[in-house]
C-alpha cells in the first residue's frame, strides 16, 4: 500500500517530469534544435543518369522570439552547405500565431531567404498563412500577396500554378508549383471544408511538354490523393509533422486525411510524397518529437 509520503513523491515526480517535458517542448525543441533529414530514392519513370539533390525548407513562420530574421539567415547558411543542386521553399513564411514578441516583416524574412544559393536556383511556392495574413489579398480574392511581392523583389521566383523545365548535366526535369489549396477564408464562421483554394493541378501539369520527370511543389499534402503517376515526386509542408509526434504518430494533423500524410516519405500506388516537418510553429510555439528540419532529397 502506498503511503501518503510515497504518493506525494510520485505526484511530485510526475509534476516535475511534466514541467521538464513542457519546458523542452516550449523552449528547447522549437528554438534550439535543427536537424537535417535525408531521403534517397529513384521514383518510377525517373531518367537514368539524372542525379539531383533537392534541399527543401518549409514553414518558417517568421516571428520573434521563435523565428527571427537572424535565425532564418543561419538556417539558410546551413542549407547552403548541404550541396543542393536546387533549393525549394514550400510556403508559410509569415507568422501563424499570436504568441510572439514581434512580427517579422516580409522585407526582413525575404532578405534572409535571399542568402540561399543553389546552381539551379531557389524556387518558392506560397502557403495558407501567407494568404490568410494578407487582408488585401483576401478582399481581392487573389492577385498575389505581400509574400509573393517580397520574394520577387529579392529575386526568388514564386511558382503559382506554373511549371518550368530545368536541366542538370544535360538531363531535363520539370519543377511544377501549385498555388495554395486553402488560400481564401470565407469569413468569421468558417471551417476547413469551406476554404477556397487557388490551386490548379491539371492546368499546371498541362504545361509539361515532354517526358522528363516532374517534381511537384504543393504546400498542403492533401493534394497528393489526386496527383497522377506522371509526377515523380511531390514535396509538401504545412503539417509540421503534427508539431507533436509520439511513437511515429501525430495526434493532431491539419489534414482531412489525419495522420496519413502527416510526415515523412509516403508511397502510394508507386507515387512518392515527402512531407517536411518544417522549421517554425503555428497556433502554439510547441514542438515535441518533430524538431525543426531541413530536408535533403537525393534523386536518381
CATH of the domain at 154: 3.60.21.10
Asked if the peptide bond before residue 135 counts as cis, ω within 30 degrees of 0, the response is no
* 19 and 157 together in one domain: no
* 142 and 221 together in one domain: yes
Distance CA 218, CA 233 (A): 11
* 10 and 80 together in one domain: no
* 165 and 218 together in one domain: yes
* 23 and 105 together in one domain: no
Instruction: Say if residue 138 is exposed, middle or buried (CB neighbours under 10 Å; 0-12, 13-18, 19+).
Output: middle
| Predicted pLDDT of residue 100 | 93
Residue pair 132/97 in contact (Cβ under 8 Å)? The answer is no
* 5 and 46 together in one domain: no
Domains identified in the chain, total number: 2
* 262 and 185 together in one domain: yes
* 160 and 291 together in one domain: yes
Residue pair 67/61 in contact (Cβ under 8 Å)? The answer is yes
* 7 and 40 together in one domain: no
| Predicted pLDDT of residue 194 | 80
Q: Mind listing the pLDDT tens digit of every residue in the chain (300 residues)?
A: 444 344 334 333 433 333 334 455 555 665 557 999 999 999 999 999 999 999 999 999 999 999 999 999 999 999 999 999 999 999 999 998 999 999 999 999 999 999 999 999 999 999 999 999 999 999 999 999 999 999 999 999 999 999 999 999 999 999 999 999 999 998 744 445 589 999 999 999 999 999 999 999 999 999 999 999 999 999 999 999 999 988 888 888 999 999 999 999 999 999 999 999 999 999 999 999 999 999 999 999
C-alpha angle with apex 180: 178 to 184, nearest 5 degrees? 145
| Predicted pLDDT of residue 20 | 38
* 52 and 175 together in one domain: yes
pTM: 0.89
Is the Cα dihedral 244, 248, 252, 254 positive or negative? positive
**C-alpha grid cell for residue 146?**
505581400
* Domain span including residue 280: 35-299
* 240 and 135 together in one domain: yes
| Predicted pLDDT of residue 96 | 87
| Predicted pLDDT of residue 30 | 57
Distance CA 280, CA 58 (A): 8
**Residue (of 255, 299, 252, 245) closest to 277 by Cα position:** 245
* 155 and 28 together in one domain: no
Strands 264-268 and 271-275: antiparallel
| Predicted pLDDT of residue 12 | 38
* Contacts within 8 Å (CB) and 24+ apart, 193-200: 193/256, 195/128, 196/141, 198/131, 198/142, 198/160, 198/161, 199/161, 199/223, 200/161
Amino acid at each position: 500500500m502506498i503511503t501518503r509520503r510515497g504518493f506525494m513523491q510520485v505526484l511530485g515526480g510526475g509534476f516535475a517530469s511534466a514541467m521538464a517535458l513542457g519546458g523542452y517542448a516550449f523552449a528547447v525543441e522549437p528554438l534550439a534544435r535543427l536537424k537535417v533529414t535525408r531521403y534517397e530514392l529513384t521514383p518510377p519513370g525517373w531518367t537514368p543518369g539524372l542525379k539531383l539533390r533537392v534541399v527543401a525548407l518549409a514553414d518558417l513562420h517568421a516571428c520573434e522570439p521563435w523565428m527571427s530574421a537572424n535565425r532564418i539567415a543561419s538556417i539558410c547558411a546551413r542549407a547552403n552547405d548541404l550541396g543542393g543542386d536546387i533549393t525549394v521553399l514550400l510556403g508559410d513564411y509569415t507568422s501563424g500565431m499570436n504568441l510572439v514578441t514581434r512580427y517579422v516583416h516580409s522585407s526582413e524574412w525575404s532578405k534572409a531567404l535571399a542568402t540561399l544559393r543553389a546552381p539551379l536556383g531557389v524556387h518558392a511556392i506560397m502557403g495558407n498563412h501567407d494568404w490568410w495574413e494578407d487582408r488585401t489579398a483576401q478582399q481581392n480574392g487573389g492577385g498575389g500577396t505581400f509574400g509573393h511581392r517580397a520574394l520577387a523583389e529579392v529575386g526568388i521566383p514564386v511558382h503559382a500554378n506554373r511549371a518550368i523545365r530545368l536541366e542538370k548535366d544535360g538531363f531535363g526535369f520539370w519543377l511544377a508549383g501549385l498555388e495554395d489549396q486553402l488560400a481564401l477564408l470565407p469569413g468569421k464562421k468558417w471551417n476547413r471544408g469551406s476554404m477556397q483554394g487557388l490551386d490548379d493541378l491539371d492546368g499546371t501539369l498541362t504545361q509539361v511538354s515532354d517526358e522528363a520527370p516532374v517534381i511537384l511543389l504543393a504546400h498542403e499534402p492533401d493534394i497528393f490523393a489526386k496527383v497522377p503517376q506522371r509526377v515523380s515526386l511531390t514535396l509538401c509542408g504545412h503539417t509540421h509533422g503534427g508539431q507533436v509526434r509520439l511513437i511515429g504518430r501525430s495526434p493532431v494533423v491539419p489534414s482531412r486525411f489525419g495522420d496519413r500524410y502527416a510526415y515523412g516519405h509516403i508511397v502510394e500506388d508507386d507515387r512518392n510524397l515527402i512531407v517536411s516537418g518544417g522549421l517554425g510553429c503555428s497556433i502554439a510555439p510547441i514542438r515535441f518529437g518533430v524538431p525543426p528540419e531541413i530536408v535533403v532529397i537525393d534523386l536518381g
